[in-house]
């Protein structure tokens, strides 16, 4: 068997509540800006939770023509925009590549739910003639990958991974394995989500999963803080260009980081609640470190799943302590969901991008709104202000409904 290929990151594209484009996104993350405010996409005035982390500055016509934009759900628009930015950032030229060796693996936890809502309403009002011929292509979760492959002419593996809030971290792990196995040279991998809709928000409200701090949205997302009361819906997309180190060096690409390891496990516990002891999460972290060839002491930063929920946050802390032991107290552990909310299927890719920026800049982003320490959550959460620190390796945790856990490990590129 041939040696396993090293996988590196050579391009980034971001659509988020803190800006469209990687530079403005990272600038606002480091500054501790808050992207959470009252919902504007629909009238949420009668809902228990009336705020979210909306993408405000995205113009689809900057990335596609108007007709195509109308025929694409918002989550697909985000994916195309992020993919085009990542492709440009990578410096790849399709004319110089074998398109059959370049794949697109882009996941969405929920897919085209706004399309579903609008077409179901049209069906109720007008019958089958009210339903758009683009309803199904706009709805299905694989269409972000399919559309990006069509737009960029990429003919390698193309499909979607779906695992709720672990979706895009799982996707990145699958993409890494695909390149390692020699089944592709380059993969555009990540996630996209646009689920700030009446039905989706109502559904999460019915689960009592969302914060109801309607009088103070800017301070509602407070991971690991004793007064946390639920997560905040977000949206956006992040696409990473992953390629074999051999391929990247051959074309003299700029390399952001090494995607060193990944792992996936299941809690086998409950459809929405995490294992309270964090055993599945701990197993995923331990296996990802093993896959990366690293010891716990080699890690300096964890971008936590940290959703700001009463059950989820302490379970994750137990998992971290289980894996890292005393070293857990030397780690920087921050949750950037405090700024960009929880973008569901896109969140893992957004947070993996944050780990990449942290490795490259030596800046660890903060957990904002951290005011009241919780004795069950007693690690260094980088409270409220970013810090400078050399980072050798970083871990990104993502845990989804269904008990599905995914973890990726990144290392600084020392080439």
Which residues carry out catalysis? 165, 305, 342
d(CA 167, CA 257): 21
Structure tokens at 196: 């700030």
- DSSP code of 240? E
Question: Tokens 């409220």 belong to which residue?
Answer: 384
Structure tokens at 103: 């794949």
* Phi and psi angles of residue 181, each rounded to the nearest 5 degrees, phi first: -80, 0
- DSSP code of 5? P
Torsion over CA: 65, 67, 71, 73 (sign): positive
| Angle formed at CA 258 by CA 255 and CA 261, multiple of 5 degrees | 160
User: b/e map of 112-139 (b: 16 or more CB within 10 Å)?
Assistant: bbbbbebbeebeeeeeeeeeeeebebbb
d(CA 145, CA 234): 21
Any alpha helices (H) in 256-400, and if so which ranges?
Answer: 279-292, 312-324, 337-340, 347-361
Structure tokens at 295: 């010891």
* Phi and psi angles of residue 271, each rounded to the nearest 5 degrees, phi first: -70, -30
* DSSP class per residue in 117-138: HHHHHHHHHHGGGGS-TTHHHH
Question: Tokens 């023509």 belong to which residue?
Answer: 65
CA nearest 86: which of 186, 2, 10?
10
Whether the Cβ atoms of residue 411 and residue 257 lie closer than 8 Å to each other: yes
CA nearest 259: which of 135, 139, 172?
172
């Amino acid at each position: 068997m041939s040696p396993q290929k090293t996988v590196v990151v050579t391009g980034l594209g971001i659509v988020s509540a803190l800006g469209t484009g990687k530079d403005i996104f990272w600038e606002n993350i480091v500054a501790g800006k808050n992207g959470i405010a009252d919902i504007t996409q629909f009238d949420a005035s009668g809902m228990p939770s009336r705020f979210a982390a909306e993408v405000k500055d995205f113009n689809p016509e900057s990335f596609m023509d108007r007709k195509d934009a109308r025929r694409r759900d918002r989550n697909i628009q985000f994916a195309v925009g992020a993919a085009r930015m990542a492709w440009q950032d990578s410096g790849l030229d399709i004319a110089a590549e074998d398109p059959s060796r370049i794949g697109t693996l882009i996941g969405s936890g929920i897919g085209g739910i706004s399309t579903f809502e609008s077409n179901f309403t049209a069906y109720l009002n007008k019958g089958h003639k009210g339903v758009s011929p683009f309803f199904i292509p706009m709805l299905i979760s694989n269409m972000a990958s399919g559309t990006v492959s069509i737009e960029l002419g990429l003919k390698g593996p193309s499909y979607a991974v779906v695992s709720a809030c672990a979706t895009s971290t799982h996707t990145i792990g699958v993409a890494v394995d695909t390149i390692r196995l020699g089944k592709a040279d380059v993969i555009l991998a990540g996630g996209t989500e646009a689920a700030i809709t009446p039905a989706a928000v109502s559904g999460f409200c019915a689960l009592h999963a969302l914060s109801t701090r309607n009088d103070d949205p800017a301070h509602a997302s407070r991971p690991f803080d004793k007064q946390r009361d639920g997560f905040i819906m977000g949206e956006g997309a992040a696409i990473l260009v992953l390629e074999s180190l051999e391929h990247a060096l051959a074309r003299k690409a700029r390399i952001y980081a090494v995607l060193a390891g990944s792992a996936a496990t299941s809690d086998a516990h409950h459809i929405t609640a995490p294992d309270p002891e964090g055993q599945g999460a701990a197993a995923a972290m331990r296996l990802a470190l093993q896959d990366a060839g690293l010891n716990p002491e080699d890690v300096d930063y964890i971008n936590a799943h940290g959703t700001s929920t009463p059950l989820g946050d302490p379970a994750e802390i137990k998992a971290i302590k289980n894996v890292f032991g005393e070293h857990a107290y030397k780690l920087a552990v921050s949750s950037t969901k405090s700024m960009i909310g929880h973008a569901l299927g896109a969140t893992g890719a957004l947070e993996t991008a944050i780990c990449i920026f942290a490795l490259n800049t030596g800046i660890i982003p903060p957990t904002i709104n951290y005011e009241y320490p919780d004795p069950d959550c007693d690690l260094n959460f980088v409270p409220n202000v970013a810090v400078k620190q050399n980072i050798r390796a970083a871990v990104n945790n993502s845990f989804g409904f269904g008990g599905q856990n995914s973890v990726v490990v990144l290392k600084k590129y020392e080439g």
